[in-house]
Chains A and B, each alone.
Chain A
Amino acid sequence: MTLYALNEPRVARNTPIVRLRAFGSIGEPQVDVGSEVTWDTLAGTYASRRRLRQVRVESSGEGFSATVLVQEGQKVKRGEVLAYYSYFFGLGYTEYTAPCDGEVVALIPSIGSIAIKEAPVSLYCRLPGIVEKTDEARGVWVRTYGNLVKASVGAGYGRAGVLSMKAKTPSDKLSARDFTADDAGKVIVAGRSVSKEVLEACLRFRVSGIIAGSVSRGLFEWYSDLAGSLDWDEFLARYWARDAKNRDLEPSPSEIVPALVVTEGYGDSPMGGEAFALLAESEGNPVYIDGGGNGSDEPAVVIPLNGGAVAKEAEKPVCRLGELGLGDRVSVLGLTTAVKEGTVVEILPELKLENDLLLPGAKVATETGETLLVPVSNILLRDRG
């Protein structure tokens, strides 16, 4: 009986890579197809989802009770005073400030509203390469060249930073105390799994990204929600640390939260050896980390080589289907266990599992000396024997 398994490369070296720099909403690409881009090239601008922000000030129902300092059409900066209200013989005083950069588009005295149209948000390329395609609804696709680590899940948006191997082995676990203000702007390899304290430390110290083997699902959902909703004001209130400088330099909304990339899945599994080795080789190099937010692409880490110029002989990593044979190197997937690497020692057209399920499968000898009976559905092919 012929058994088939997928050969889906999770790590690829010297390969052409196309990544979408996704707009959060409909936007305007600022680069042309075919043009060369670098880490800091402005890819485009997009309108925030909350395009119109309302600031409510004191009103009598007929007119403003507060003193309004702006007029329609005026450009305002975030934090700029829009109006003030003095009451109780001047003993009480309230100041109303602009929640974002933008333009005052309407003053509505009857309801005491100042409407501000948000200024467009800037999106930078964050990886070098050539612009392959642009779409005002989706974003800008950049073709680059280098090494790729595909992830299982991710949160946050595309960021860039220098890779730092804080974990020395794939099974190491970091604690919040391992992080300092010096980690600002870096992409940290965190080893086995991350805790809430570690993620909060990364937020405080303005880390660009975190790569881990696994994460618990509850924590991941909390972090995903945070990545989608945390704005700069809330960030300053909840996470800003004195050690992290540049309080006044507001980043774009997609660069407030560090990107989280998880290579193996949910739970507490160590990072795959292949992924860890590739990342370790690249320590100190600038990398691009994408948590997959804004519907960009599947989460991944890209280590650009050659300044993103594609080598002529490079091949794209593609998923292939292979016939399972003796001696093949495989990954064994599980629902409650970590991914295990091993070698096929026997093909079993009718395998009776411990739980009495009768399925085609294989006997796999793992690197730790275990022998596993695995249904073919739980096998991923790595290398032919």
Chain B
Amino acid sequence: MTKSIFHIDVGSTVTEARALAIEGGRIVQLERVSCPTPPPASKDERTLGLGEVLDVIGSRMSEDKSSYENEGVMVTLSAGGEPKAVCAGVVKGISGESAKRAALLAGATVTDLVCVDDGRQDFERISDLRRQDVSVAVMAGGVDEEIMESGTHQILNIARVLAKGLPKKGWSDDRIPLVYAGSQEAREEVARILGDIEIIWADNVRAKLEEEHLASARDAVVGSFSENVRSDPKFQGLGKLGLPEVFPSGYAAGLAFEGLYEETGENVLGLSLDGDAVQVFSGIKGVFTRTVTPVAKVNPNKVAKWLPHPQMAENLGDFIGNLVLRPHVLPTTWNELSVFLAVWKEAIREGIAEHKATAIELRGVHRQRQVGETFQVEVSGGDTLLKMPTLRRIVVTGVLSRVLSREAVLSLVMDGAQVAGGVGVYLDTCNALQVAGLLPSGSANILESLLPLAVLVAPGEDRDRVGAGWASARLDGTYEQLPVSMGEITLVPIANGSAVEITLDPSRQEDLGEGPGRKTVRDLPPGFSRIYVDGRPRPQLRTLERISPREIIGWYRNLGVFPEQVLSGWERGRGQ
């Protein structure tokens, strides 16, 4: 008898219940039921549909009782951006960013970052903090030793601000708990200043300036969320499920990306596309980062660059506004779909830019300078870890990845993430990532549970290699040069979905992860049915300058996102 798991995800726009089974290490979906989640603005209970979806899926599974045995219920939650956290540190770029990264890894949305260099006065910080609707605070600052010799440190000033400013829980007169992940030496004094505020002690995220340890603080945030969420009247429906632990969705997916990195040892990027935000996950050189970028942040002028017809830009602001107001609403016509894709491409671009700014080498690290660097004026640290050519995999998950056609998802990844080098794109068709993240390590093969979508090969900034013998692939045992055409996306089919070996030969300046100018080989497992070779000039895509609607239509034609009659209609000038 196969064991099945119920997974319930209370998302920001949709509540989904799934019955899943693990077959040969692979997570497969048996049944799925969904219902809308009430919007956060209404302040209504957001777990309204839990009982319904659980009853329906339970009755469907009980019809097939002979073959499946239910082993447990997993619950993940991200409705309304929960858990919401405020972070505090001493210096914004050092402990402040570390506290923020820890909260983000725990699946939280960070609403404010209080630091001594945030440009506010204490009364403004206190006023801002007390008006926040958050469920936890994360505080960091100071290394572990010899910071309190003078008897004072900025961390104590930050603790005083938090002591006065931490808001009450939305449903009681108690103040929100604080996760303290700062200097060990300052603990006693901080505890005295914070008085009766509940403190959850975690290891110092920056015990030494050269190191960052986020796991303990992350787990403390998750623990606090799981303990408190059931008391929140907004989530009282969780009581219908019995007593399974509730985890933040972003945390569960983040654990799966960690597992995937450990399983393969290769750099991975994750994009979660839900109704109102883009979540970006990365596992690069053993460093895991998660960021959340709301769709509301997109710049309409940049979105307009992705439209296949200039007339569509006329009411673009209203379209984006309505999409932000009602993120669950889907496009119903081809024109709406093209604007919808343009908004999401720009949202992914924004999300990747924010992720690049967050997934960085540590700041504040003392670096020994070499003689040759004497006259170089460079700030140590702060370089991004996310360099597209070093990526091996991109996994797309979230509600939109399951609603849109596969060609549309590929178009979002190619234009939004602007891939360079050679990567395999995978689709999470049944929310397997969140389940895999919560399963005991090794009980499911994460890569096997994902759907291989396509291989993307792009010279990126390496313009010298456009049109040259930059990439070759071994398909069916024979080597084949991949056609890199300037400004074009070319499709190369893979017969029978066999394994592919791609060899990339960059120019002397380009680094594909093996060092500048070094040839690199990418082995991709069986399952992919196509390779897309993207020869579009990167400076043009990066700056979005000199991109014409004709080119956008051409790229959609290359990918097969829209039917020919729609594309030719746009070419003939029918944009409404």
Binding site for B on A (CB under 8 A): 2, 4-6, 8, 25-26, 49, 51, 135, 137-138, 152-153, 216-218, 220, 265-267, 295, 297-298, 318-321, 323, 333-336, 353-357, 359, 373-375, 377-378
Contact = CB atoms under 8 A, between A and B. Distances in A.
17 contacts: A6-B36, A6-B48, A8-B38, A26-B127, A26-B130, A49-B127, A135-B168, A216-B318, A265-B318, A267-B318, A318-B44, A319-B44, A321-B36, A334-B322, A336-B315, A336-B335, A354-B332
Given A374-B332, A377-B328, A335 B323 contact: yes
Contacts of A323: 52
Given A321-B35, A355-B331, A355-B332, A217 B42 contact: no
Contacts of A355: 331-334, 336-337
A137 B130 contact: yes
A354 B333 contact: yes
A266 B317 contact: yes
B336 A336 contact: yes
A86 B372 CA distance: 61
B33 interface: yes
Nearest to A294: B131
Interface string B310-327: 000001011111110110
A272 to B, nearest CB: 14
B547 interface: no
The 6 closest A-B pairs by CB, nearest first: A137-B130, A266-B321, A4-B35, A217-B317, A319-B44, A217-B321
A220 B424 CA distance: 43
Interface in B319-372: 319-323, 325-326, 328-337, 339-340
Given A2-B33, A359-B403, A335 B42 contact: no
B405 interface: yes
B329 A319 contact: no
Interface of B: 13-14, 33-36, 38-39, 41-45, 48-49, 52, 56, 123-124, 126-127, 130-131, 167-168, 315, 317-323, 325-326, 328-337, 339-340, 403-405, 563
Nearest to A381: B36
Contacts of A51: 123
A22 to B, nearest CB: 9
A4 B57 CA distance: 14
B332 A4 contact: no
Contacts of A357: 330-332, 337, 403-405
Nearest to A18: B43
Given A265-B326, A333-B329, A336-B315, A319 B38 contact: yes
Given A354-B333, A357-B405, A266 B36 contact: no
Contacts of A49: 124, 127
A265 B52 contact: no
A378 B330 contact: yes
B402 to A, nearest CB: 10
Contacts of B39: 8
Contacts of A137: 127, 130-131, 167
B443 to A, nearest CB: 31
Interface centre among B123, B328, B332, B403 (most CB of A within 10 A): B332
Contacts of B35: 4, 321
B32 to A, nearest CB: 11
A2 B328 CA distance: 18
A353 B337 CA distance: 11
Nearest to A135: B168
Nearest to B55: A2
A245 to B, nearest CB: 35
A266 B325 contact: yes
Given A49-B124, A318-B44, A354-B332, A265 B315 contact: no
Given A266-B317, A355-B333, A5 B322 contact: no
B42 A8 contact: yes
B388 to A, nearest CB: 29
Contacts of A321: 35-36, 38, 48-49, 52
Contacts of A25: 127
A217 B127 CA distance: 30
A333 B319 CA distance: 12
Contact of A152 (B43, B167, B325, B404): B325
Contacts of B41: 298
Contact of B322 (A266, A298, A359): A266
Nearest to A23: B131
Given A4-B35, A298-B41, A377 B329 contact: yes
B364 to A, nearest CB: 32
Contacts of A356: 405, 563
Contacts of B320: 217
Contact of A6 (B38, B126, B405): B38
A138 B48 CA distance: 28
Given A137-B127, A295-B131, A267 B48 contact: no
Contacts of B56: 2
Contacts of B337: 355, 357
Contacts of B404: 357
